Amino acid sequence: MSELTQTDLVYSSRSLKLWNVLVNWLDFLYQLFLKILRAVAHLPLLSTSSSSSSSKALADGFKPLPVTELPEISAKSTVTVKIDSARRSSDEGQVRSIPRLTVVLDVDETLVSAYESSSLTSTIRTQAIEAGLKWFEIDCISSTKVYNGEPKINHVTVFERPGLHQFLEKLSQFANLIVFTAGLEDYARPLVDRIDTKHVLNDRLYRPCTVSTQYGDHVKDLSSASKNMCRTVIVDNNPYSFLLQPLNGIPCVPFSAQQPNDTQLLDVILPLLKQLSEEEDVRPALYDRFHMPEWFEKQGIPRSCWTSSSSPSQVPDESR
């Protein structure tokens, strides 16, 4: 019995040492994981999905889809977009009266970049501020979550995309502006209040206005914003947001606090929207530029997903 007891003690000692080694390794991996989390501080508070752009996309300027390349379209392609003949002017020389353009704008990573303040590293904050990015902090009070018996408060740091206020002011001169975010109103409303200093926004739509599809949740059905798809455009860094109306979307480069030299709003998006404001139907021009239906098909999303919510005049005609 004494030999068994000594053997048990030997194995017990070895097991204890192995256990201590294992615990030390787990602690090391945990600390490493925490460092990685601190390094990647950005938390998209207002949207449910986030996309990152490559350095090449930023260097080349506006890219319709910075992550996934669009399928190549042959120069001999005969694909066209049909337009209702009733919408064309019978007299080409006659001055046409067309409805005012409606521009639907995403918020996070399109107009601003929002971070949970506790997760924002001092390095990112300092570099962004020193680079000249405009920023502000807000307290978002939840109407559904409670902490210690009180409504939960989230402290949020927001960096504005360069040229934001000038962009909104100039855009409002020729278009109706609607903010459409997949974020909850508790988070998004105080943020939008801060960026709409001149009250140029005509409407605001939040997560309850989005819809769910088999290809993604919180999809922005543009029929909630406008009944005239000929004169409606959405600007969003996430193409899946407008998969129901792909011919009305402008996929923009995502914005973060680490892009202080971004010039997309004034140099790229505003001129494009100004051009579209003069089009009787924005969809042919957007199709010629982005070919979004083909891109969605490449991602495995069939045309039936979006044609069901579109009129026949929006569908590219491949038979011609």
What are the phi and psi torsion angles at 59 (to 5°)?
-65, -35
Handedness of CA 261, 66, 77, 250 (dihedral sign): negative
- What kind and span of H or E run contains 290? helix 282-290
> Kindly report the CA angle at 214 between 312 and 227, in degrees rounded to 5?
40
Distance CA 67, CA 59 (A): 14
Determine if residue 310 is left, alpha or beta; phi over 0 gives left, psi from -120 to 50 gives alpha, anything else beta: beta
Beta-bridged to residue 303, according to DSSP, are none
Which residue of the set 8, 27, 91, 106 is catalytic?
106
Are 157 and 117 a contacting pair, CB within 8 Å?
yes
Distance CA 96, CA 88 (A): 9
- Annotated catalytic residue 108: yes
Which residue of the set 108, 221, 236, 281 is catalytic?
108
What number of CA atoms fall less than 13 Å from residue 120's CA on the CB side?
A: 25
Provide the Cα torsion 11, 12, 13, 14; round to 10°: 50
Counting Cβ atoms within 10 Å, is residue 303 exposed (0-12), middle (13-18) or buried (19+)?
A: middle
- Annotated catalytic residue 106: yes
Distance CA 218, CA 243 (A): 11
Distance CA 214, CA 196 (A): 34
Distance CA 8, CA 221 (A): 69
The catalytic site residues sit at 106, 108
